[in-house]
């Protein structure tokens, strides 16, 4: 059990971690998520007593690490796989760590076998690949057969087979009743590895919840329904009917409707009953990665800016369409808009939030009114109205220009 209370770390005037309180329980894999520079590694080092907190404290089993009796047999950690003397063989590296903790040398050969480095045990670690280095670091963490394990980005540089191996290793360690605390900046990886999530951004706690809770809160299914653009009254009619039937309707920027709370066949039936034609009825799911990025969006330290070279491009010949905005970070519509709140959903962007001007590298080219829902993953959907578009999407020109119909396939 790892417990942090009001943990704060400042380096000069930069606050790396601020007032972080969380618990990591045994018997589960706890994912520690955050963008680069959000304070994950600093927190890990403070847990291990390597950095002294500016304020607050973190304990393992009730003790600060530096006062923990027999610490290396209780806690194992992979902090930095490159933290190895390159001239020392893998076996000697582990042997020196084992001797430091009073662990018998036979255990060194055991863990070398566990991580699959038996054949290169006597080779200098200088020549190791990134993946081999990670395995060596994991071996060092396993040396003391500890009850508490910390891994800082363990899958960095591993091939798919190695990632799968680490994933299963974490799970089996947790299944043995150990406390496993794994940091990562990949939500998708944590979604399949972790049982519990602690998300931080800019050194502050953003979420502390189980993965299932995170999934149900952030990846609700929804259906996108599109009625003929030519008949706006049909849209109103369908909205009313769906709401009456117990569904939630959210209008989207491009005139489509986002429906939650009703299965697709039911929506189709309602449309049929209300005599409304449908141009689109498609199932969608917001991915965890999107939910995570939405959550940490305001807490990213390093963000790309508009490429200034853009101005050097040749002006488009008159008459041609400006390229459609490419989905990318910083463009609000890239993240699937949040699902309808089933009540108390902490991280959704408030409904009706003003659309921010696109800030992404390519986003600037799109007109401010460019429909964020346009790059939807459904190739059969009615293409979005052309980018330079009037402020009121519902009153968009009746039929999109024919040339535009071929555009979406190219754009994707």
DSSP reduced 3-state for 5: strand
> What angle do the packed helices 232-244 and 264-273 form, to 10 degrees?
120
HEC assignment per residue over 210-244? EHHHHHHHHCCEEEEEECCCCCHHHHHHHHHHHHH
Q: Compute the least distance from the CB of residue 165 to another protein, in Å.
A: 22
Scan residues 198-257 and list those touching another protein (CB under 8 A).
none
Told to check if 52 binds another protein by CB under 8 A, we report: yes
Q: Compute the least distance from the CB of residue 243 to another protein, in Å.
A: 58
Q: Compute the least distance from the CB of residue 89 to another protein, in Å.
A: 7
Are the beta carbons of 93 and 122 closer than 8 angstroms? Answer: no
From CA 62, how far away is CA 23, in angstroms rounded? 11
Judged by beta carbon, residue 141 or residue 225, the one nearer another protein is 141
Place of tokens 């992404």: 360
Q: Compute the least distance from the CB of residue 71 to another protein, in Å.
A: 5
Told to check if 104 binds another protein by CB under 8 A, we report: no
Considering only the stretches 59-67, 169-177, 201-209, 262-270, report the one whose residues sit in contact with another protein under the rule CB under 8 A.
59-67
Judged by beta carbon, residue 25 or residue 82, the one nearer another protein is 82
Told to check if 60 binds another protein by CB under 8 A, we report: no
Told to check if 66 binds another protein by CB under 8 A, we report: yes
Told to check if 151 binds another protein by CB under 8 A, we report: no
Told to check if 24 binds another protein by CB under 8 A, we report: no
Strand boundaries in 49-195, DSSP class E: 55-60, 75-78, 148-152, 179-184
Strand boundaries in 96-252, DSSP class E: 148-152, 179-184, 196-201, 204-210, 221-226, 248-251
Position among 31, 34, 39, 49 found at the interface with another protein (CB under 8 A): 49
Position among 20, 58, 77, 249 found at the interface with another protein (CB under 8 A): 77
DSSP label of 399:
S
In order of 246, 290, 315, 340, 356, the CA distances from 336 in angstroms are 23, 7, 32, 12, 15
Considering only the stretches 18-26, 68-76, 247-255, 278-286, report the one whose residues sit in contact with another protein under the rule CB under 8 A.
68-76
Q: Could you list the residues that contact another protein (CB under 8 A)?
A: 45, 48-52, 65-68, 71-72, 75, 77, 79-80, 82-89, 92-93, 95-102, 140
């Amino acid at each position: 059990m790892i417990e942090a209370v009001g943990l704060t770390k400042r380096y000069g005037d930069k606050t790396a971690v601020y007032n972080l309180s969380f618990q990591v329980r045994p018997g589960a894999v706890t994912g520690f998520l955050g963008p680069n520079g959000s304070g994950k590694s600093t927190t890990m080092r403070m847990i291990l007593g390597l950095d002294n907190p500016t304020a607050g404290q973190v304990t393992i089993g009730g003790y600060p690490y530096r006062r923990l009796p027999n610490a290396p047999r209780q806690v194992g950690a992979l902090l930095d796989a490159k933290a190895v003397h390159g001239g020392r063989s893998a076996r000697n590296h582990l042997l020196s760590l084992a001797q430091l903790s009073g662990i018998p040398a036979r255990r060194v050969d055991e863990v070398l076998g566990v991580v699959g480095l038996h054949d290169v045990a006597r080779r200098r670690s200088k020549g190791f690949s990134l993946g081999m280095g990670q395995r060596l670091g994991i071996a060092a963490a396993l040396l003391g057969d500890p009850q508490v394990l910390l891994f800082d980005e363990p899958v960095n540089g591993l091939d798919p087979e190695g990632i799968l191996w680490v994933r299963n290793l974490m799970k089996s360690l947790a299944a043995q009743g150990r406390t496993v605390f794994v940091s990562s900046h990949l939500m998708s990886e944590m979604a399949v590895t972790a049982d519990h999530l602690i998300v931080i951004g800019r050194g502050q706690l953003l979420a502390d919840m189980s993965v299932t809770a995170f999934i149900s809160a952030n990846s609700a299914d929804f259906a996108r329904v599109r009625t003929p653009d030519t008949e706006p009254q049909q849209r109103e009619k369908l909205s009313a009917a769906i709401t009456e039937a117990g569904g939630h309707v959210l209008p989207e920027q491009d005139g489509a409707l986002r429906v939650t709370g009703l299965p697709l066949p039911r929506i189709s039936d309602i449309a049929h009953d209300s005599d409304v034609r449908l141009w689109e009825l498609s199932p969608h799911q917001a991915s965890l990665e999107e939910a995570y990025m939405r959550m940490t969006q305001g807490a990213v330290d390093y963000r790309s800016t508009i490429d200034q070279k853009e101005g050097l491009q040749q002006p488009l010949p008159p008459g041609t369409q400006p390229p459609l905005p490419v989905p990318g970070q910083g463009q609000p519509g890239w993240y699937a808009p949040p699902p309808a709140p089933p009540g108390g959903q902490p991280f959704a962007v408030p409904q009706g939030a003003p659309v921010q001007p696109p800030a992404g590298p390519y986003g600037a080219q799109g007109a401010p009114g460019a429909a964020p829902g346009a790059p939807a993953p459904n190739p059969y959907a009615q293409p979005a109205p052309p980018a330079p578009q009037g402020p009121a999407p519902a009153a968009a020109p009746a039929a999109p220009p024919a040339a535009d119909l071929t555009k979406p396939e190219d754009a994707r």
